Amino acid sequence: MHKIDRRQPRALGGFTLIEVMIAVTVVGILAAVAVPNYQDYVARGKVTEALSLASRAKVAVVDSYQDSRSLPADNAAANLPAPEAIQGKYVGSVAVEDGNILVTFNDAVSQLEGRSLILQASANEGAVNWCCYSPDIAPRLLPSNCRDSAGCLSGATTPDGGDGSGSSDAGGSGSEDTGSEDTGSEDTGSEDTGSGDTGSGDTGSGDTGSGDTGSGDTGSGDTGSGDTGSGDTGSGDTGSGDTGSGDTGSGDTGSGDTGSGDTGSGDTGSGDTGSGDTGSGDTGSGNLDSSSDDECPSGFESSWRGNSRICTSTDPDARKCPKGWKKVGGRKQPLQCKVK
């Protein structure tokens, strides 16, 4: 009997078709990326070589400027051979045009064929400065110091801008708040408010300025004992008017500043009439009309707490408010009362 060969067949060796296709694809991708980059690298090397060749022309331009104090117009003025006579492996010519050096490439490198590199010269205080750029070579092929073509074409200097400095905001000079505040209505505003005509009543900026000048309320007018002195003498504020404690207590009651105020021969005319001690002058918390129901009684000083009049006793031993008044402030001394 014949024996049957039961051995398994061997697997096929080597690369399969799919593996070969994958390898070819990877190589193609790498080549597509690497070859252009390599070509750019080679072209950049050729541009650098052209700069080295143009260095001789730079020296000639500087020497010509030092001799004549002007940039040479062409190769002959710079003592250089004709442009086509200056050549290299990749450079077709080196020309001088008004001090600028124009390097033109030959057809050795396709990316640079017929293109040019310019070294622009500018004279500044006896020195020659250089700026490198190219009008037709891609920036990626140029050295880093030759990529700013806009900067070279615009020049190195820019016009100075003026500072719009001046004397703006010079307003608010010191003549604004001079001492003419109380002109016009003489005793209006803060003159006779507060503590009436006592103490600082008509002193300071009150009746000074053009207000009650002359023999009006200046000098000893409303200071000290009220409106006595040469100010409001006569039948005006004398008597029980502004004497004693000024405008407190019975100060401006009676014939003093009540009613027609300082009329008579005292403060008539331009003195304290009009808006002087009448109207807004001795009104407010200062010289209230004696006909008011909440006028402080005799022996009490008037003050305000909000919209309420508070009368404070001038007697430190007082304990009881007058009839029609009620005590405020508890045990606080001195005694304080307000109208019921």
Separation between Cα atoms, residue 323 and residue 139, nearest integer Å: 106
H/E stretch holding 24 reads helix 17-68
Whole-model pTM: value is 0.39
Which residues have CB under 8 Å from 280's CB, separation 6+? 185, 187, 188, 189
Give backbone dihedrals phi and psi of 150, rounded to 5 degrees, phi first. -65, -40
Structure tokens at 229: 């002195």
**What is the spatial order of strands in the sheet that 325-328 belongs to?**
300-305, 308-313, 336-339, 325-328
Q: Which of 328, 245, 260 is nearest to 294 (CA)?
A: 328
pLDDT of residue 327: 83
Q: Determine the Cα–Cα distance for residues 282 and 194; give it in Å rounded to an integer.
A: 10
Q: Pick from 46, 59, 47: which is nearest to 121 by CA?
A: 59
Within 8 A by CB and 6+ apart from 90, the residues are: 46, 49, 50, 105, 106, 108, 109, 112
127: CB partners within 8 A, 6+ apart: none
Q: How far apart, in Å, are the Cα atoms of 147 and each of 43, 74, 101, 151, 157?
A: 15, 25, 16, 9, 19
Residue 182 in contact with residue 275, Cβ under 8 Å? no
The CA-atom distances, in angstroms, between 210 and each of 3, 66, 206, 304 are: 148, 81, 10, 31
Sequence-ordered strand ranges (E) for 171-328: 300-305, 308-313, 325-328
The H or E element that residue 130 is part of is strand 127-133
237 and 261 in contact (C-beta within 8 Å)? no
- Rounded CA gap, 198 and 249, in Å? 11
Q: How far apart are CA 316 and CA 22, in angstroms?
A: 115
Domains of the chain from N-terminus onward: 18-154 (3.30.700.10), 186-204+219-282 (no CATH), 300-339 (no CATH)
Contact present, 240 and 221 (Cβ < 8 Å): no
Residues contacting 23, CB < 8 A, separation 6+: 15
> Rounded to whole angstroms, how far apart are CA atoms 216 and 273?
10
Type of residue numbered 213:
T
Helix-strand-coil percent breakdown of the chain, rounded to 5? 20, 15, 65
What pLDDT is attached to residue 36? 85
Q: Would you give per-residue pLDDT tens digits along the chain (340 residues)?
A: 455 555 555 555 566 888 889 989 999 999 888 888 888 888 888 888 888 888 999 999 999 999 988 999 999 999 999 999 998 889 999 999 999 999 999 988 888 889 999 999 998 888 899 999 999 998 888 988 888 888 888 764 333 333 333 333 333 333 333 333 333 333 333 333 333 333 333 333 333 333 333 333 333 333 333 333 333 333 333 333 333 333 333 333 333 333 333 333 333 333 333 333 333 333 333 333 333 445 788 888 888 877 788 888 888 878 788 888 888 876 667 888 888 7
